[in-house]
Amino acid sequence: MAIPTLTRPTPRTNTSQEARKPRKKMTAGKIAALVVAAFIAVLWMIPFAWATATAFKTETDAAAPKVSWMPPSGFTAEAFVKVFQDGNIPLWTWNSFYTSAAITAITLVISALVAYALSRIDFKGKKVLMTVIIASIIIPPPVLIIPLFYQMLALHLIDTSWAIILPQVIHPAMVFVLKKFFDQIPRELEEAAVMDGASRLRIFTQIILPLSQPILAAVAIFVFIGAWNNFLWPFIATNDGGLLTLPVGLQTIKSAYGIQYAQNMASALLAALPLILVFLFFQRQIIKGVATTGLAGT
């Protein structure tokens, strides 16, 4: 009796055609969307490019009535040198950084806790509280400046870092965004954790927050950018030169001899540069967070 021989099957190799992913067809709608997006991007870049070109001009060329991208005297960093000489840019940048970071951290803690309570806990007055939060989103921030100033004055916090930080840690819009995201998380995950004896705090820290990393990152970046750009409240809350934030400090070094266009543009670029870097490093988190929560449609 002949013993049948076992033949080892030859492994299937992925050819270049199999490994290659099918390309998505470009429809007319996608092409139109790309054209519109490119057009909007160019429109956005023109003012930024003009500000950059003006910042590297001399004051004479920047104030010339004839509009020109290429200055007759050539490009120079004279405006930036003037800004650094007249102001304490490193100190102001550090003040802006640590106050914005503190505002972001405290806002995330408060907003996440409030949003989780509104999303998962049933309590008396919940609908009224949610209505108040939504209504407070439409209140213009300048309306609250005088009450907040007197409140900080009563607490003896004027001319301190806390006067800048505390009034900016309440963001009703971020509470609404986080609450909307928490509503999308399946409750079955929490019910399973409760069956295992997990407390509500443990569920919040070990289940809800890890699943909410994209929206938390997006909210953190939005709050940080808003705190960094805030000029009016830090300008009112502090008179101490050692506590000035970057937007406020840059306004104190403007010359009294008319408008210095090149110097103003240099100051604006210095204030915007950190935010541009933040967006470049965290643009994926911003886009993912907005897409996940549906913020673009709210």
Dihedral (Cα; 144, 150, 151, 155), 10-degree rounding? 150
Higher pLDDT, residue 125 or 98: 98
pLDDT (mean) for 161-183: 90
Residue with tokens 């919940």: 126
pLDDT at 3: 46
- 146, part of any domain: yes
Task: Say yes or no to pLDDT of 201 above 60.
Answer: yes
Task: Say yes or no to pLDDT of 8 above 70.
Answer: no
Structure token pair of residue 19: 């490994």
pLDDT at 104: 93
pLDDT (mean) for 51-61: 81
Q: What is the CATH number of the domain that holds 195?
A: 1.10.3720.10
pLDDT at 251: 79
Domain that holds residue 141: 88-297
Q: What are the pLDDT digits (tens) for 208-226?
A: 888 888 888 888 888 998 8
Kindly give, in sequence order, each residue whose CB lies less than 8 Å from that of residue 295, ignoring residues fewer than 6 positions away: 177, 218, 289
Q: Where are the alpha helices (DSSP H) in the chain?
A: 16-19, 28-55, 59-62, 78-86, 89-120, 126-136, 145-154, 161-165, 172-183, 187-195, 200-203, 209-211, 213-229, 232-237, 246-251, 261-293
Highest mean pLDDT among 176-180, 259-263, 279-283: 176-180
pLDDT (mean) for 2-17: 49
Domain count, the chain: 1
- 145, part of any domain: yes
Report the distance separating Cα 172 and Cα 197, nearest Å.
33
- 16, part of any domain: no
- 265, part of any domain: yes
- 37, part of any domain: no
Residue 164 pLDDT level (bands cut at 50, 70, 90) = very high
DSSP state, residue 158: T
Task: Say yes or no to pLDDT of 1 above 50.
Answer: no
- 18, part of any domain: no
pLDDT at 113: 92
Residue 289 pLDDT level (bands cut at 50, 70, 90) = low
Higher pLDDT, residue 297 or 283: 283
Mean pLDDT computed over every residue of the chain: 80
Higher pLDDT, residue 72 or 124: 124
Task: Say yes or no to pLDDT of 107 above 90.
Answer: yes
Lowest mean pLDDT among 178-192, 255-269, 270-284: 255-269
pLDDT at 259: 64
- 4, part of any domain: no
Q: Is 117:201 a contact under the CB 8 Å cutoff?
A: no
Residue 102 pLDDT level (bands cut at 50, 70, 90) = very high
Q: Is 75:274 a contact under the CB 8 Å cutoff?
A: no
Task: Say yes or no to pLDDT of 6 above 50.
Answer: no
- 122, part of any domain: yes
